[in-house]
Amino acid sequence: MRTLRILLVEDDDDHVFLIRRALADLDDLAVSVEVAPDGERALERLARARFEPGGRPQLVLLDLKMPRMDGLDVLRHLRADEAARGLPVVVLTSSERQEDREEALRHGASWFVCKPTDGRRLRSEIQQLAGHWARVTT
């Protein structure tokens, strides 16, 4: 069975619950999810991961609109950091603005997904993302 370590950077508890649930229901993939409720904590977690064996996530799922430090700031920091530059980052956001998508991709997002408001569609999107990145990163 393949495994995938994900850092979920998300401040909305309902979205965290839905995303965790979608990832837990994958038959051929074991997913571990660590949650950071804001960008500052995400960067702290990634900095600590350098010193922990197997501690670095294989994928970051990043919300754009968060308190303290937004997703674009997190992306800027990650892409400026030699050790984290190649880490895949998928932006998950409720924003449907084309400008947000373009800016996230310009700042180094690997992919951009608008979170569907429908729970089943969100589940499907998350499961497809996890399957794709597990194939790419393992």
Split at pLDDT 50, 70, 90, the class of 138 is low
Q: Is 133 helix (H, G, I), strand (E, B) or coil?
A: helix
pTM here is 0.93
Tell me which fold the domain 2-137 belongs to. Rossmann fold (3.40.50)
What pLDDT is recorded for position 94?
A: 86
Asked if 110 and 89 touch (Cβ cutoff 8 Å), the reply is yes
- On the question of pLDDT at 128 being above 80, the answer is yes
**Cα(94)–Cα(92) distance, integer angstroms:** 7
Q: Is 105 helix (H, G, I), strand (E, B) or coil?
A: helix
Q: What is the pLDDT of residues 70-123, one digit of tens each?
A: 999 999 999 999 888 889 999 998 888 899 999 999 999 999 988 878 888 888
